[in-house]
Amino acid sequence: MPTITHPSSAQTVITTFETSPGTCQDLLEALEEAYDDFISKQPGFVGAGLHVNDAQTRIANYSQWARREDFQAMLRSDEMRAWNRRFSDLCRSFEPVMYEVAAVY
């Protein structure tokens, strides 16, 4: 399970997916399958959460990794590249961005 603390030794990745009400559920199911079958089993994976806005036009994914290199290795794998192609077919765009926790309240 992800825990937000400051300071944090974990690497945080937030990915925003722009989707539509017609494909939101399909994309959510694909993301859940990717986490169940592959992502959560990768070295350095700490935890993740998926969030859907009320209009079903955006999905936000928060994930934590032990190290930046763990996330990058997973992202470069052939299996993750195949997942990303599937995600691209189900949304207009998505962008994973790495963050450091600056403060917690």
57-72 pLDDT, tens per residue? 999 999 999 999 999 9
Amino acid at 11: Q
Number of domains in the chain: 1
Report helix, strand or coil for 51. Answer: strand
CATH number of residue 77's parent domain: 3.30.70.100
Work out the average pLDDT over 75-93: 98
Q: For residue 32, is it within any domain?
A: yes
With respect to residue 2, please indicate whether it lies within any of the assigned structural domains.
Answer: no
Amino acid occupying residue 43: P
In angstroms, rounded to a whole number, what is the distance separating the alpha carbons of residues 48 and 3?
Answer: 10
Kindly state whether residue 25 falls inside one of the protein's structural domains: yes
pLDDT tens by residue, 11-22:
999 999 999 999
Q: Quote the tokens at residue 56.
A: 């079903």
Report the pLDDT averaged over residues 19-31: 98
pTM, 2 dp: 0.93
Instruction: Specify if 20 maps to a domain.
Output: yes
For residue 78, what are the domain limits? Answer: 14-99
Residue 2: what pLDDT? 78
Residue among 12, 100, 21, 97 at smallest CA distance from 59: 21
pLDDT band for 25, please (50, 70, 90 cuts). Answer: very high
Residue 15 phi/psi, 5° resolution?
-120, 130
pLDDT at 3: 85
For the cut 90, the answer to whether the pLDDT of residue 74 exceeds it is yes
Residue 63 lies in a domain: yes
Q: Report DSSP state, residue 76.
A: H
In a domain, 21, yes or no: yes
